[in-house]
Structure 1
Amino acid sequence: MSDNLKPALEAVLMVVDEPVTEEHLAKVLERPRREVADALRELSDEYTVQGRGFDLRLIAGGWRFYTRPEYAEAVESFVLDGQQARLTQAALETLAVVAYRQPVSRSRVSAVRGVNCDGVMRTLLQRGLVEEAGTEPETGAILYRTTNYFLERMGLRGLDELPELAPFLPEADAIEAESQEGVPSFDPDAPDPDADDTTTTEL
């Protein structure tokens, strides 16, 4: 392995704002993918052994530097000055439904939750946690799915690492069938009834 590969990888990874795949790094540095992959894992191990304040992780299909959890408080104090962006309980519930039933339409998410989720979905879209994923063939409704940013924030390599939560979710199909008429055609710009939800949780 060339002596300058690891420093080159460090230099590139210092300026990225999202995880970078091994394939992309190999192409940029004009090196074999296997050689790049081995170097990345060696760097990650070295940072751990050295007890550095950051580590190199494979998240959402790519590599990126992250602050170690034990130093999160110090980083938050510096960057956020004590202010943390949080999601409401309603937003977290909506995000969970999208994550486990994606691709899914707003009306189906609303049927599962039993309330209008349009305002919450707008928030999730703005935060970059969900994105449009085409339309539903039967109704033409826009479908939504989670993003790579969602995986990154959750510390997951892929959706297959989501915990087994299905037994705790409502039987969505049954709920939709029973309450289809009870879920109105919501105005996307209408006030969100969940907006008054005061329970917040940091994502």
Structure 2
Amino acid sequence: MSTDEDGRAAGVAGLGLRPALEAVLMVVDEPATEEHLARILQRPRGAVADALRELADEYTLQRRGFDLRLVAGGWRFYTRPAYADAVEAYVLDGRHARLTQAALETLAVVAYRQPVSRSRVSAVRGVNCDGVMRTLLQRGLVEEAGAEPETGAILYRTTNYFLERMGLRGLDELPELAPFLPEADAIEAETPEGVPSFDPDAPDTPETHADDKTEF
């Protein structure tokens, strides 16, 4: 280790643990694991875990506008649900929502039926979902999950980024909604499956999402 690295390591080790955690968590792009935080701050994992939970409890007790949550295996700051109206007013001020109702409905079908093929998602929604699925793929909310053995259809599932954005530790924390979704097998049209009928990187065209042309 170089002299500069030695000096930096000594500086990190000498920092207060809780403020150091706050500083790091302010700049993370995804939830940070306790192991990673312990390594970069040169502290025992147990001490880091205790400090994180103390900070989370403190923010709740103080009724701060944000909280610290354990999500998708790591820790990250999130706005507190009680202040959702304020955040929504800021985000939607002069803009369109990032995901439309169509995209949210499609994402919900994937979340509750995964792994699921594109045509089965379309069967549940009752409209062609090619354009919306492309949007969800491009935004990293869903990903390919292999192929269906019987038909060769490409299957899709939600990603860790989906869990992060939804504030969930895992899919078992999804609300009880699946019983209200119709079984795709019972209503699916007899359409060929296999290779997707769209290129995820291709620009949108009216033909690829005629039924969803105003939905995203």
TM-score, scaled to structure 2: 0.77
Correspondence for 1:67 among 67, 71, 79: 79
Give the Cα–Cα distance (whole angstroms) in 2 for the partners of residues 51 and 170 of structure 1: 41
State the AA in 2 paired with 1:145. R
**Matching residue of 1:180:** 190
Aligned AA (1:95):
L
RMSD: 2.8
Cα pair 1:98 1:109 within 8 Å, conserved: yes
Where does residue 193 of structure 1 map in the other structure? Answer: 210
* Contact 1:53–1:68 (8 Å) recurs in 2: yes
> Relative contact order (C-alpha < 8 Å, sep 6+): which is higher?
1
**TM, length-normalised to structure 1:** 0.81
* Counterpart pick for 2:45 among 33, 39, 54: 33
- Where structure 2 has 5 or more consecutive residues not aligned to the other structure, the ranges are 1-13, 199-204
Compared CA separation, residues 97 and 25, structure 1 to 2 (3 A): same
* Aligned-partner Cα distance in 1 for 2:50–2:182: 44
Q: Taking structure 1 as reference, are residues 52 and 95 closer, same or farther at Cα in structure 2, changes over 3 Å only?
A: same
Q: Can you give the 5+ residue segments of structure 1 that lack an aligned partner in the other structure?
A: none
Corresponding residue SS for 1:65: strand
Paired AA for residue 34 in structure 1: G
Structure 2 residue aligned with 1:117: 129
How far off its partner does 1:182 sit?
8.6
Greater Rg by CA? 2
C-alpha deviation, 1:123, in angstroms: 1.3
Aligned to 2:202: none
Paired residue total? 196
Identity of aligned residues (%): 79
Whether contact under 8 Å (2:106, 2:121) holds in the other structure is: yes
* Paired residue type of 1:147: T
Q: Which residue of 2 aligns with 1:104?
A: 116
Residues 98, 144 of structure 1: 8 Å contact kept: yes
After the TM superposition, which of the residue ranges 62-71 and 13-22 deviates more from structure 2? 62-71
**2:53 partner amino acid:** R
Partner in structure 1 of residue 67 of structure 2: 55
